[in-house]
Structure formats: structure tokens, C-alpha cells
Amino acid sequence: MKIGAILCLTFLSLVSIFSVSVSAFNDPSFSHSLKVPSLPNIASFEDDLSYSLYHKSCPNVEGIIYKKVQEWVKKDPTLAPSLMRLHFHDCAVRGCDASILLDHSGSERSANVSKSLRGFEVINDIKAELEKKCPKTVSCADILTTAARDATVLAGGPFWTIPFGRKDGRVSLAKETTTIPMGRESITKLIEFFQSKGLNVLDLVVLSGAHTIGRSSCESVQHRLYDYKGTKKPDPSINHAYLNYLRRKCRWASENVYLDATTPRTFDVQYYHNLKNKMGLLSTDQLLYSDSRTKPIADALSFESSLFSNQFSVSMVKLANILDVNSQDKGEIRLNCNRVNY
């Protein structure tokens, strides 16, 4: 009886959140405060994606990718969240076109925001195997998208189906990475960024939940520990015990610290409970629980893990379907994920 009541209340909470979100977006003052770039027309490219694309040309593509990701994650579990992050960074610039994988001077990969990205060797290994079994068939963009899904599953997260057919982009520019969130933005800036990619406030809060696993560099958080906004004092919103913990862990900017200090290796809703306890690692994490547009969603997701898992799948599908007109129209199937074909 109690479980039924909780689920009912949780469902009603989510319905309420969606209603609030819709009314907020319809509020002229709210819309005026956001500067959202116009979206390209991507519908035609989404229509080109297919669940059966490789059924005949590379029937075991998903099995090959999963086996390789499993091998790598077994050797190094930290690669699971790294592959998820690599996928996000790829889709954040020019859509999901594997432009983050291109390795040349001035590429996205060379940008400051990309310096802590990992997992490139995993994608290269998968690509090499697929070129043996199905040459010139599977794009690096589809490989990265699928590897991120499999990494999520191996970390204890949900499974979702993926349509295929993304092309590999031929352009990768470091200067275009400047809009990618780095952990210091305001909630309004984050909403603007997500909306510019066709994602909404719910997607923002849900995808931030990926911080239930993985690590961040101490460089990203040191300003909160010692000199918050030039005050020479720590961020007053940090739990005092958590502040002491972070100061012990982050004596050097080059060190790494878990994004979820409570259950760092478990894909769960503890991330949202941490926010309630003022234990969000990045400024952008903790701000989710202090803004009226995001706090109700974080609260609702913390009630029941199945709600988070289900919505995480939905938001990841939306993320993977971000496609850029130019990248897809002029795209290719790379033979080597690190460089364009010639």
C-alpha cells in the first residue's frame, strides 16, 4: 500500500513538474531571459536513422561493440563514465558526428575543455575490429554512440535501443567547443545551451545525473574550496564535512575526485540525494537544487530509481539524435576514426 502511494505521488510530482515547465516556457519574461540560438532543421536527418541499417551489412555490429567495451571496462572501470562523457562532448558540437575523435592541430580534441577526455583508444580498438568484419560500413559516430550506451549498461545503468546511420563529420574546430559547459555556468546558461541542442530542462537535470559515477579533475572544483567568487573563502553552499573531505582530496589541481562521494561506483539516484545534502561537486551540480526550474525535477528523480533510469534512457536517445545539417550532408564513413578520408 505504501509503495503504491509513493509511486502515485511520484507520478503526480512528475506531471506537476512538466506542467510547471510548460507554463514557465510560455511565460514571456522567462523566454526573454533566455537567448536560444535557432535550431537547424534536423528532422530529415533523424528520419535517415534506422534500427535495421546494419542487419545485412554488419549483422553483429552491436555484439562486437559490446564485447570490446566490456573488455576495456573490465580492465579499467573508470572508462565507463569516460565514454559517456566523450559521447556528450561529441554531440555538443556539430551534433553526434564523431568530430571529437579527429586528432589534428586545432581540432575539438585539442581544446582546453577536451584535455581530460578519455576513451579514444577504446573507439579505435572497436573501429579496427569492425573494419576487419565489416569494412567501410560502420561510422565512428555510430560506434561512439553505441559504446556510450554499453558503458552505461556495464556501469549498472539502463539499456536503450539505438537507430543507426550517423555520418562522420569532416570538420572539427577547437574554437567551437567554447559553449560546452565546464561546471561554472549559471542554470540559465545551462538551459540556453541545452535548448540550443533541442533538449529541455528535464533533459538537463536527468543527464546531469550521469555524475552518479565518474570523476572530475580537482582543478574544476578548487575555486569553490578556497576562493569562491574572489572572496578568499569557500563556497558557503558546500556541506562543511564535505568541504573538509574535498580539501583533503584536492590538494593539487591535477588530482581527481569522485563526482558522487557516497556511492561513486554505482549508477543510482544518490547523486540527487547528495544535492539535497549540499554535496554537489561542481557548481553546476549544486545549483540544480537551488533553482526553482530544476529543483522539483531533482527532487522527483530522487524518489524512485526506476524513474531516473527510464528517463535517462529517453534523454540519452534525444542526445544521440542531435544531428547537424552540414556534418550529415557532407559526412562520410571514416576508415580511421582519428582522421578524415582523403
Instruction: Check the annotation: does 165 bind a ligand.
Output: no
119 within some domain? yes
46 within some domain? no
Q: Could you report the per-residue pLDDT of 225-258, keeping only the tens digit for each?
A: 999 999 999 999 999 999 999 999 999 999 999 9
**Residues 186 and 86 both lie in one domain:** no
308 within some domain? no
**Residues 89 and 157 both lie in one domain:** yes
pLDDT score at 16: 43
**Residues 175 and 100 both lie in one domain:** yes
262 within some domain? yes
DSSP 117: -
CB 68 within 8 A of CB 129: yes
Catalytic annotation present for 55: no
pLDDT score at 46: 59
pLDDT score at 6: 38
Element containing residue 288 per DSSP (H, E): none
Percent of the chain clearing pLDDT 70 (strictly above): 86
**Residues 202 and 82 both lie in one domain:** no
Instruction: Check the annotation: does 4 bind a ligand.
Output: no
For residue 197, give the CATH number of its domain.
1.10.420.10
277: domain range?
181-302
334 pLDDT above the threshold of 70: yes
Total domains, the chain: 2
214 within some domain? yes
Instruction: Check the annotation: does 181 bind a ligand.
Output: yes
Left, alpha or beta for 183 (phi > 0: left; psi -120 to 50: alpha)? left
For residue 72, give the CATH number of its domain.
1.10.520.10
Q: Residue type at 128? A: A
Element containing residue 88 per DSSP (H, E): helix 79-92
Over its C-alpha atoms, the chain yields an Rg (Å, rounded) of 20
Question: What is the pTM for the complete model shown?
Answer: 0.87
C-alpha cell at 22: 510548460
**Residues 134 and 244 both lie in one domain:** no
Instruction: Check the annotation: does 97 bind a ligand.
Output: yes
Max Cα separation, the chain? 65
**Residues 175 and 187 both lie in one domain:** no
337 within some domain? yes
Of 89, 104, 223, 240, catalytic? 89
25 pLDDT above the threshold of 70: no
pLDDT score at 28: 39
**Residues 255 and 203 both lie in one domain:** yes
**Residues 78 and 194 both lie in one domain:** no
**Residues 236 and 125 both lie in one domain:** no
**Residues 287 and 335 both lie in one domain:** no
- 329: which residues sit within 8 A by CB, 6+ positions away? none
Q: Could you report the per-residue pLDDT of 34-91, keeping only the tens digit for each?
A: 343 334 444 445 568 999 999 999 999 999 999 999 999 999 999 999 999 999 999 9
**Residues 126 and 221 both lie in one domain:** no
Q: Could you report the per-residue pLDDT of 276-300, keeping only the tens digit for each?
A: 999 999 999 999 999 999 999 999 9
159 within some domain? yes
**Residues 236 and 131 both lie in one domain:** no
CA-based nearest residue to 89, from 112, 105, 113: 113
Instruction: Check the annotation: does 93 bind a ligand.
Output: yes
> Per-residue b/e over 183-204, b at no fewer than 16 CB within 10 Å?
bebebeebbbbbbbbbbbbbbb
110 within some domain? yes
| Of 46-55, 206-215, 270-279, minimum mean pLDDT range | 46-55
11 pLDDT above the threshold of 60: no
Alpha carbons within 13 angstroms on the beta-carbon side of residue 301 total 32
